[in-house]
Amino acid sequence: MSYIIDSKIALRIPKTVHQKLIELADDEGVSLNTIINNAVSNYIGKSEYDYEIRQKIEALLHILMFFSSRGILCKNVFSLL
């Protein structure tokens, strides 16, 4: 699916959340836009990190299943990483 990218997004949030974001921006001496942009960027980064961790766990499980199916006991799993 293709979307036309616009630099503006209309965002509906509760007034209490809006107020907290304004206070946070004021405390940090940055704009409200910067606070929201950083929050979204951090969320995306965390999602990508979580995906990478899940991929590594799956790979490790495949390795363990490989050794287990051949009767090899892995005493130190971390040595396989």
Q: Is the pLDDT of residue 2 over 80?
A: no
pLDDT of amino acid 64? 79
Q: Which two tokens stand for residue 17?
A: 């959340």
Mean pLDDT to the nearest integer, 45-50? 80
Q: Is the pLDDT of residue 79 over 70?
A: no
- CB distance 36 to 11 below 8 Å: yes
Mean pLDDT to the nearest integer, 50-79? 75
